[in-house]
Copies of this chain bind each other. A is one copy, B any other.
Amino acid sequence: MSDRIDVAILGATGSVGQRFVQLLAGHPWFRIAELVGSERSAGKPYWEACDWRVSSAPPDEVRGLKVKHYEEPLHSTVVFSALPGGLAGPIEEGLAAEGKRVFTNARDHRMDPDVPLMIPEVNPDHAAAIERQRRERGWRDGFIVANPNCSTIHLVLALKPIQDAFGIEQGIVTTLQAASGAGYPGVPSLDLIDNVIPYIGGEEEKIESESRKILGRWEDGRFLDAPITLSAHCNRVPVRDGHTETVSLKLAQPASPDEVARVLAEFRARPQELGLPTAPARPVVVLDQLDRPQPVLDRDVERGMASVVGRVRPCPVFDVRFVVLGHNTIRGAAGASVLNAELLLREGWLD
């Protein structure tokens, strides 16, 4: 493992940052070399700077690593960003201009016309937009690749095989989202004991617009949105991890629930062909039981990297309906970025 690539993690002490640390500790291709945080954290050893909350204690290999400040120079050429939206934008651009390959979970650049909003199983060809980035922004080696919002990722993983097989025209989605999606401290407990919140700021718009970009095409140097109309209703529920989504779809061609379930269960794509280290064996896992998927039982299927689908059945209004569940801070955030980096490494973009 001596030739692992050094990587930096921005926002390393937050919820998503901690997941990056967890997924990259012991990674066969990447080595956590730099952890970057805010003024409050900078200069302290990681275990002290960080209120570690994704397990009992941080991995030994990073425990004592001293947290750097955003303004310090980084030697790593690969950077994972768990920065909060708003703050992320300019910092990530600055790093790309310096030649860093930035894999970001932040919302800031997702809808940029030259930034791939990538899910390796869905739109690996969107990586081509990197060339436009470099050309137009004057970056030589650096680039920014974004992964979608946590709810969007799991929805789109379930839509992609259906779109390919039958076409999708319209969809109505309701999410039941976990508390960890809002980070830490995030949602107050008084909002989630004996309660649900039927609103998550900006989330519905993200699902509706990001999905169209990801499922669309990169053609003639630009993104063409998929001609799919979506409506999203977003809710916060008293669950730690794992977003559940109910989905009703109008298809372009008729298909029975069994046919839909089959294309979902059989879905395999580029990361599975390449055997990427963080890739799930099955990107979409289909369960038979009437009352599944459930967050507490199924969010860790395929180490949190799969979207788990159940209850595929006819929809009285549209054609088909089902439930999809996925881990929001693993496949829905840090794991998504790591998988993007693994793909681009294997496809030569990190040379």
Q: Is the CB of A233 within 8 A of B208?
A: no
| B-facing residues in A308-351 (Cβ within 8 Å) | 308, 310-311, 315-318, 321, 323, 325
A192 to B185, CA, bound (A): 11
Q: Tell me the smallest distance from the CB of A215 to a CB of chain B, in Å.
A: 15
| B-facing residues in A139-186 (Cβ within 8 Å) | 170-172, 174, 176, 179-180, 184-186
A271 interface contact, C-beta 8 A: no
Chain-B contact segment, one of A4-12, A106-114, A285-293: A285-293
| B-facing residues in A191-215 (Cβ within 8 Å) | 191-199, 201, 208
Q: Tell me the smallest distance from the CB of A306 to a CB of chain B, in Å.
A: 10
Mark interface residues in A225-246 (1 if CB within 8 Å of B CB, else 0): 0000111010101111000101
Q: How many copies does the complex hold?
A: 4
Given A53-B297, A186-B190, A231-B248; A198-B292 close (CB under 8 Å): yes
Contact check: which of B192, B248, B294 meets A198 at CB < 8 Å?
A: B294
Contacts of A185 on B, CB cut-off 8 Å?
Answer: 185, 188, 190
Q: Is the CB of A317 within 8 A of B229?
A: yes
Given A208-B316, A317-B172; A296-B195 close (CB under 8 Å): yes
Given A229-B316, A229-B317, A244-B235; A297-B198 close (CB under 8 Å): no
By the criterion of a CB under 8 Å from any partner CB, how many residues of chain A are at the interface?
61
Contact check: which of B197, B246, B295, B301 meets A294 at CB < 8 Å?
A: B197
A196 to B184, CA, bound (A): 16
Which 4 pairs show the lowest CB-CB distances between chains A and B?
A: A174-B174, A233-B246, A185-B188, A199-B291
Q: Can you name 8 A-B pairs with beta carbons within 8 Å?
A: A53-B190, A55-B300, A187-B189, A190-B240, A194-B194, A194-B295, A198-B325, A230-B316
Chain A positions within 8 Å of B, measured between CB atoms, are: 53, 55-56, 170-172, 174, 176, 179-180, 184-199, 201, 208, 229-231, 233, 235, 237-240, 244, 246, 248, 290-298, 300-301, 308, 310-311, 315-318, 321, 323, 325
